[in-house]
Amino acid sequence: MDATALEREDLRPALTQLSEEEEMFRASFREFAEGEVRPRVEEMEKASKLDPELIKQCFGIGLMSIETPEEYGGAGSSFFNAILAIEELARVDASTSVFVDVQNTLVTNAFLNWANEDQKKKYLPQMATEKVGAYALSEAGSGSDAFALKTRAEDKGDHWEITGQKLWITNGNEADIFIVFATVDPEAGYKGITAFIVEKDFEGFAVGEKEDKLGIRASSTTEILLDSCKVPKENVLGEVGKGYKVSIETLNEGRIGIAAQMVGIAQGAYEAALNYTSEREQFGRSINKFQGIQFQLAEMATELEAARLLTYNAARLKDAGKSFLKEAAIAKYYTSKVAEKISSKAIELFGGYGYVKDYPVEKYWRDSKIGAIYEGTSNMQLQTIAKLITSGK
């Protein structure tokens, strides 16, 4: 057994067994998802908007600041518990899940890892109690090539001025605090990229149109417009020219969050199919008594369990302070495939009912499709995995 395997050996028993505290967290998240989220799903889907009262409740029970230390008003819990929350919410509604996911695994983690003490004291308590965060990296010409940014930040002496347009910004309509990436020197390439903390009411900042999407419809995905947006000098996150590190390291953690979201979607679709096949009767008995149906359910259960364990493994490694880059990429790649496959199979098991909006499984499929696209496409995950395994890591 090599050294890497040895140092990870102690993590293996924890993958399949949750601690008492983690079981309590999961139970509380599931209770909230069933009691508060599920009754709102249909209306939020139709309105393409999260219920404002639900957003308040997410803050009220601590869902928006799971890892934030208690000194800043958060729960002071683990990344793994944030993953449990994201999974349980996605089991009921992926839109609510990604709303919580972006706040925790992207924005809050960026502050925890890169903000100075003054920035933490100012922003983390706000984000723990009432203010939503968003992560603004993507542009029209920079998707997988994330650092081909056109958004420009100019040093004006006593402040920065940012000009440009960002696309595909999750939580755009709800957010008050944005982490915006811009280049201070286009000639410097990725070394010119800098992260800025931008508030919604800063002069020159505006939220643009909301996208009309296939899935996660209640989650707002918007453009943001920066027209000589004035940003205080002290609002650089990290260091000038270090935005690429802020982005890469934060997105590595965020991919585990997306994997958890996909596991939750797959779980919800699987449970719906399991329940339906036990109730639907053909030829005098429930259809899950037929071996052909049983084998399909067994395959779904197997792939779901594998997806969950890959996700938990990556989250455990992150909490243990160990390398998790490859494991995060594998988890995101595999879970996105599994969520789409299981939700598609659930539609087939429902028959004609699976194809109409009166039943839940078509929504699970629509929500699953984004998993292969955002926070790094499946091809980009394969590129990362291939690079690491061929270099012996």
Long-range contacts, stretch 270-276, CB < 8 angstroms, 24+ apart? 270/297, 270/300, 270/301, 270/304, 270/342, 270/346, 271/91, 272/346, 272/350, 272/359, 272/360, 272/361, 272/364, 273/297, 273/300, 273/342, 273/345, 273/346, 273/349, 273/350, 273/361, 276/349, 276/350, 276/353
Number of domains in the chain: 3
pLDDT digits (tens, 9 = 90+) for 16-52: 579 999 999 999 999 999 999 999 999 999 999 999 9
pLDDT of residue 392: 81
Looking at the structure, tell me whether residues 335 and 265 fall in a common domain.
Answer: yes
Looking at the structure, tell me whether residues 22 and 120 fall in a common domain.
Answer: yes
Q: Tokens 């920035």 label which residue? A: 119
Q: Which domain holds residue 222?
A: 134-241
Looking at the structure, tell me whether residues 254 and 377 fall in a common domain.
Answer: yes
Question: Of 183, 218, 241, which closes a domain?
Answer: 241
Looking at the structure, tell me whether residues 127 and 139 fall in a common domain.
Answer: no
pLDDT of residue 141: 85
Q: In terms of Cα–Cα distance, which of 259, 284, 278 is closest to 349?
A: 278
pLDDT-above-70 percentage for the chain: 96
pLDDT of residue 10: 52
Looking at the structure, tell me whether residues 77 and 209 fall in a common domain.
Answer: no
Q: In terms of Cα–Cα distance, which of 190, 171, 187, 188 is closest to 179?
A: 171
Q: What is the pTM of this model?
A: 0.94
Looking at the structure, tell me whether residues 138 and 113 fall in a common domain.
Answer: no
User: Does residue 13 carry a pLDDT above 70?
Assistant: no
Q: Tell me which of 167 and 9 has the higher pLDDT.
A: 167
User: Does residue 195 carry a pLDDT above 70?
Assistant: yes
Please pick, among 45, 161, 362, 375, the residue that the annotation labels catalytic.
Answer: 375
Looking at the structure, tell me whether residues 191 and 260 fall in a common domain.
Answer: no
Question: Of 87, 106, 132, which closes a domain?
Answer: 132
Looking at the structure, tell me whether residues 96 and 201 fall in a common domain.
Answer: no
Question: Of 224, 241, 258, which closes a domain?
Answer: 241
Looking at the structure, tell me whether residues 249 and 369 fall in a common domain.
Answer: yes
Instruction: Report the chain's mean pLDDT, rounded to a whole number.
Output: 94
- Does 45 participate in catalysis according to the annotation? no
Looking at the structure, tell me whether residues 227 and 163 fall in a common domain.
Answer: yes
pLDDT digits (tens, 9 = 90+) for 197-208: 999 999 999 999
CATH number at residue 349: 1.20.140.10
CATH number at residue 182: 2.40.110.10
User: Does residue 393 carry a pLDDT above 80?
Assistant: no
Close Cβ partners of 8 (under 8 Å, ≥ 6 residues apart): 317, 322
Looking at the structure, tell me whether residues 257 and 375 fall in a common domain.
Answer: yes
Read off the pLDDT band of 3 (50, 70, 90): very low
Looking at the structure, tell me whether residues 52 and 100 fall in a common domain.
Answer: yes
Read off the pLDDT band of 143 (50, 70, 90): confident
pLDDT digits (tens, 9 = 90+) for 299-334: 999 999 999 999 999 999 999 999 999 999 999 999
pLDDT of residue 192: 95
CATH number at residue 25: 1.10.540.10
199 - beta bridge partners? Answer: 177
